Structure 1
Amino acid sequence: MSEDRTIPAASSPAEPSLVGDVLLLLFQPDSGTIAGENVLFYVLGGAAVTDLALTGAVEVDGRRLFARPVSATGDERPEDELVAPVWDYLQKKPRDVQTVLAAVGPNLREPALERLVARGELRAETRKTLGLFPSTHYTLGGDRRAELIAGVRAALVGGADPDARTAALAGLLSASDTLPWFDREIPWNSAVYTRGKAFEQGDWGAAAAASAVARTVVAGVASSLVIAGVISSRP
């Protein structure tokens, strides 16, 4: 037994968030699962801070070589309630990237999924196992995931010079060690591995100059995953 579950579209802002885009990319349509669940909160937290960085809502202390603290800028709270709590957290005092990811990342998965359902990019069904235990099953809804995959594939395989959002997505996927999951959509080979590492480490081509803070955050996500010991297969 199953029933469709929808969320009012009013809860979804006009522009997609980077958090939602990362989660949508990680969603695997064939299985209905999300790649990299074991590192997901790091990746979503990184996407939230990167989203704020791309709009100038946070900054990184560039005077320090390591453990560069991130802080909120300005007095205007972001309108998007998915990332606004992250800005609130950073406004209290500057914090290093690893601390931020651990604090904000675990709270992002469910609201991001609900946002994707509200936008029609995913469909949610409530199913009951043995007629007793409810669970939610997701299937692909709209076309945005295909568009995102095409952009990331062009950057990783075709060598295209991406915009800052696409570069951030490629870097976050590489940092999460999930790119092999995408082999049918993004051919997995040594060249893609190397290109992904370049995005992960801040080599964003033409988008680099305008996105210094975002590049630092993505690189910080990669470092945090290594420090936490959740990524162990790096050559």
Structure 2
Amino acid sequence: MTLIAEDLLLLLLDDAKGTLAASSYLPTALGGALLVELALAGAVEVEEKRGFWQTAKVRATATTPPQDPLLAAALATVAEKERSAQDLVGRLGKGVKDDLLASLERRGMVQARRDKVLGLFPRTTWPAVDSTHEDAVRRALTAALVSGAEPDDRTRALVALLDALGRAHRTVEHQGMSAGEVRRRAKALADGDWAAKAVKDAIAASTAAMSTAIAAGGVAAAASS
């Protein structure tokens, strides 16, 4: 089974060009996806805030590391000490993109393609090789966002992450629905009463941290223009 972070990465990759959307805040998004996956596995929880000025902390609850090495490394980072979700998504997402892409390449889903821009600047792109799994993920998202089907928890978590990135409506064919209707459906699915409190708290904390990072990136871009 793929990680939620791997599915998110596949959805953000342009299958033909092998380039990534949302690249400026991708590490935060991938860190959020790893934290959400740990929450779904019951490996972490978000503590209640103890005061208005205090930030809710995330702590590890599992003592046995997950089998997946990237998840195991993420859990080890959480277990070091209690940290805020905003701190953790940055830490968990730092440098993980290359590891996730290497995993997808080993699975035969993408392939690294190295060339030079203008014949001078090296770059690596990751065009799709086998989109069978990605197509299945998109079908599940389309069923949930467009057809009104009841998604499983992993699909809902992925919807919540895409909603935080503002990309849910860009990920599926609308089939007669407006972009606004798809966005509203995504938000309703993300906010619905569907998961245990620990999972919902971790998802809320992760997506809030992602939204903060995106907003900060927008302010920085505006200031530099």
Does TM-score exceed 0.5, indicating one fold? yes
Unaligned runs of 5+ in 2: 219-225
Counterpart among 51, 60, 75 of residue 37 in structure 2 = 51
Q: Which runs of 4+ in 1 moved over 6 A?
A: none
Please tell me whether residue 123 in structure 1 is matched to residue 111 in structure 2.
yes
In 1, distance between residues paired with 2:49 and 2:210?
Answer: 23
Q: Cα distance 1:195–1:84, how it changes in 2: closer, same or farther (>3 A)?
A: same
Q: Which amino acid aligns with 2:32?
A: G
Structure 1 residue 122: Cα displacement? 0.9
The Cα offsets for residues 14-35 of structure 1, whole Å up to 9 and x where unpaired, read as: x211111111111122432222
Instruction: Say which is worse superposed, 120-129 or 21-30, in terms of deviation.
Output: 120-129
% identical equivalent positions: 32
> Whole-Å Cα distance in 2 between the matches of residues 68 and 114 of structure 1?
33
2:19 alignment partner, one of 12, 29, 33: 33
Q: What is the match of residue 92 of structure 2?
A: 104
Instruction: Write the letter of the residue equivalent to 2:141.
Output: V
**Cα deviation code 1:38-74 (max 9, x no counterpart):** 2211211111011111111112224658732211113
The answer as to 2:174 corresponding to 1:174 is: no
Q: Does 1:76 pair with 2:64?
A: yes
The letter of the residue matching 1:222 is: T
Return closer, same or farther for 1:148/1:185 CA change in 2, 3 Å cut-off: farther
Greater strand percent: which structure? 1
Matches within 5 A, 1:147-186: 147-182=136-171, 184=173
TM-score (normalizing by structure 2): 0.84
Q: State the aligned residue count.
A: 214
Tell me how far apart the structure 1 counterparts of residues 12 and 85 of structure 2 sit (CA, whole Å). Answer: 22
Secondary structure of residue in 1 paired with 2:111: strand
In structure 2, which of residues 181, 184, 187 is the aligned counterpart of residue 197 of structure 1? 187
Q: Which amino acid aligns with 1:81?
A: P
* Aligned-pair Cα RMSD in Å: 2.5
* SS of residue in 2 equivalent to 1:84: helix
Could you tell me whether the CA contact under 8 Å between 2:42 and 2:62 is conserved in 1?
no
Identify the residue that residue 60 of structure 1 maps to in structure 2.
46
